[in-house]
Structure 1
Amino acid sequence: MESTFMRTVRARTDAALASGDLQPIQADQVVLRDQGLSFIVRWVAALAAKDAAGRPAAGVATTLPGGPRNPDFNPFLNPDPALLVGPLGDHHVAILNKFPVCLHHLVLARQEFSEQCSPLEGIDFQALATVLSSEGGLGFYNGGAAAGASQRHKHVQWIPESDQNASLRELGAGLPGGLPVGGAARHPSLSLAHCFVRVEAGQGVDARASAHGMLQAFRQACAALDLRTDADGLLPPCNMLVGDGWMLVLPRSQEHFQGVSLNALSFGGTIYVRDPAQIDAIRAAGPLKALAGVGMPA
């Protein structure tokens, strides 16, 4: 039976598509194989529109009257009502991503401002756990501009489970079987610094316990990768993905590989490009080389 939350998401999506407040998803894709792993490389026309609009992640128009985009515009403090799903716990709101990479792509944004590059906290994982425990799917975090974040306001994101959406299923199949919760591992095909931690996260898992476990796993991975916090936030910037019983954390050196912006979802097997020609750049190099090119040395 569909949850009340998902019914609300679907209704808001349908209304926003009909009104034009939500960009429709138009995508072409190819599937590339690299060291036995499958990668979907998808051209999403909405991402080019996102660039043209000044890289907003969700919300309303970003231009000042008669002038260019306001660099201080924050689409998460006062979300566009057409895209607002509603409160999620005491500290977050769920918002439809105005430029979605898939249907029902959500931003889970803090109600009060906090820097995106600061480390994730318990309240962020509570928001993720609330959705993951009800709906499954994949939660992810782009921790800073070099990790693919387009907004400073603290937020995590969620996409539903689908064979066409990013996930940790395929990478997880290459990790040690039977690893207990809290056990850490590296994937032999990823030639960059990263840390997988076994977690209880997904549909049917108790949300409160899951949030606590995800927070501990994130701190464990950050310690293993020597990620440090200073006045500028978490250094170096990092991505986090969680779903299918695993959390993956990896530090980032830069956002782009040969002009292609790579965010957390790229490490979940789905690379989104803004121009069809960028597919050729990924094909020529190979997806794993592209990922290694924006990570840190192992």
Structure 2
Amino acid sequence: MSQSSLMQSVDARSASALASGALQPVQSEQIRIEQEGLPFVVRWVSSLAAKDASKPAAIPGGPRDPNFNPFLNPDPELTVGPLGDTHVAILNKFPLSVQHLVLACREFEEQLLPLTAADFTALARVMTEAGGLGLYNGGTAAGASQRHKHVQWIPSTDDNAGLALFSAGLPQDLPPLGVARHPALSMQHCFVRVHSGPGMAVEQAAANLQQAWEKGCAELGLQPGADRLMPPYNMLAGDGWMLLIPRSQEQYEGISLSAICFGGTLYTRTREQVDLVQQAGPLQVLAEVGFGRL
């Protein structure tokens, strides 16, 4: 798929999938919470219940295969097309925004294997055309719902998560691959300065992303074990930064937290969980699923 046609293909496939019902956009109510000068959005998403219902469970004719892999042979109605030889772009069936993409390996790989040049090239193919925010949930404890390796992408809009909310607390004169911590984040994390966006050559953007990831992993001690798998972590890339957060657990008081939550938008399944976030404060909720700051 050519760079120039990627977003056109995403929009065309989205329109078709919406019409057929294959795409099930989130339906949400939201509140805004400001904490330590940072603007957060908390969304109560009723359609997450539909996502829960779609997970392996009893269905007519017998139980669904618990090892069912939606990314190995993706639904044609949700498939945008190949991203080079190694990845495919798929519409997220339960999108958290318009154009929410899954960029999945075409062959099965474990989600917790280290990210590779191919993974970053797939992400760069999207970001060099459309900017936006790259997301990665490294393992179940980091909010991943599938073992099949994939990164995600959402566009930059006023309503979407992003790393711009942290900008005021980060040094803007930091050189490429410079590392910073944000004073409002009490969990272990690091921001790495990275340049990747519209107009840059895909190869250069991919190299920049991979170098930033390697730098952040080294800074945080995120290294594969004897089984070649990484410890759980989240990655966000956009707005001139990459953010990495080691994860200790998936949930806070039953609320699942994935990478997108560290971009300022938290999602809950019930109105009561919104109240929990409001009472604790988003920063404390995020801190509880990470590790204490070194």
**What is the TM-score of this pair, normalised by structure 1?**
0.94
State the one-letter code of the partner of 1:32: I
Contact 2:25 2:97 in 1 (8 A): no
Distance 1:152 1:8 in 2: 26
CA distance in 2 between partners of 1:190 and 1:232 (Å): 31
Q: How does 1:188-199 map to 2 (within 5 A)?
A: 188-199=183-194
Give the deviation of 1:169 after TM superposition.
Answer: 0.5
Q: Could you tell me which residue of structure 2 aligns to residue 242 of structure 1?
A: 237
| Structure 2 stretches lacking a partner, 5+ long | none
**What are the Cα deviations for residues 164-223 of structure 1, in whole angstroms up to 9, with x where unaligned?**
000000112310121111101000000010011001112222221111111111111111
Deviation at 1:119, TM superposition (A): 1.2
Seen in structure 2, the aligned counterparts of structure 1 residues 63 and 203 have a Cα distance that, compared at 3 Å, is farther
Aligned residues: CA RMSD: 1.5
Counterpart of 2:47 in 1: which secondary structure?
Answer: helix
Candidates 260, 264, 288, aligned match of 1:265:
260
User: Does structure 1 residue 223 correspond to structure 2 residue 218?
Assistant: yes
Q: Which amino acid aligns with 2:17?
A: A
User: What is the CA distance between 1:45 and its match in structure 2?
Assistant: 2.0
**SS of the residue 2:62 aligns to:** coil
Instruction: Decide whether the 8 Å contact of 1:47 with 1:274 is kept in 2.
Output: yes
Q: Which amino acid aligns with 1:24?
A: P
**Superposition pairs of residues 9-88 of structure 1, within 5 angstroms:** 9-54=10-55, 66-88=61-83
Distance 1:180 1:82, change over 3 A: same
- Where do residues 168-187 of structure 1 align in structure 2 (5 Å cutoff)? 168-187=163-182
Question: Which residue number corresponds to residue 119 of structure 1?
Answer: 114
> How far is 1:235 from its partner?
4.1
What amino acid is aligned across from residue 187 of structure 1 in structure 2? H
Could you tell me which residue of structure 2 aligns to residue 58 of structure 1?
A: none
Give the structure-2-normalised TM-score.
0.95
Question: Could you tell me which residue of structure 1 aligns to residue 201 of structure 2?
Answer: 206
* Distance apart, 1:274 and its partner CA: 1.3
Q: Deviation of residue 25 (structure 1)?
A: 2.8
1:59 is matched with: none
Q: SS at the partner of 1:288?
A: helix
What SS does the corresponding residue of 1:228 show, helix, strand or coil? coil
Q: Residue 162 of structure 1: SS of its match in structure 2?
A: coil
CA–CA distance in structure 1, aligned partners of residues 285 and 230 of structure 2? 21
Taking the aligned partners of 2:131 and 2:272, their CA distance within structure 1 comes to 33
Match of 1:132 among 127, 130, 153: 127
The residue aligned with 1:283 is: 278
Contact 1:117 1:232 in 2 (8 A): no
Q: Contact 2:129–2:199 (CA<8 Å) still a contact in 1?
A: yes
1:229 counterpart SS class: coil
Task: Kindly indicate whether the alpha-carbon contact (under 8 Å) linking 2:101 and 2:154 is maintained by their aligned counterparts in 1.
Answer: yes
- Of 98, 101, 118, the residue aligned with 1:103 is 98
Q: What does the per-residue CA deviation read over 1:246-284, in whole Å, with 9 as the maximum and x for residues that have no partner?
A: 000110000000110000001000111111211001001
Q: Which runs of 5+ in 1 are unaligned?
A: 56-61
Residue of structure 1 in register with 2:7 after alignment: 6
Q: Does the 8 Å contact 2:131/2:198 carry over to 1?
A: yes
Deviation at 1:234, TM superposition (A): 4.0
Q: CA deviation at 1:66?
A: 2.0
Asked if the contact 1:196–1:248 (Cα under 8 Å) also holds between the matched residues in 2, the reply is yes
Q: Distance in 2 between matches of 1:74 and 1:38?
A: 36
- Is 1:129–1:207's contact at 8 Å kept on the other side of the alignment? yes
Q: C-alpha distance in 1, partners of 2:292/2:86?
A: 36
Contact 1:63 1:70 in 2 (8 A): no
> What SS does the corresponding residue of 1:267 show, helix, strand or coil?
helix
Alignment partner of 1:148 is 2:148 = no
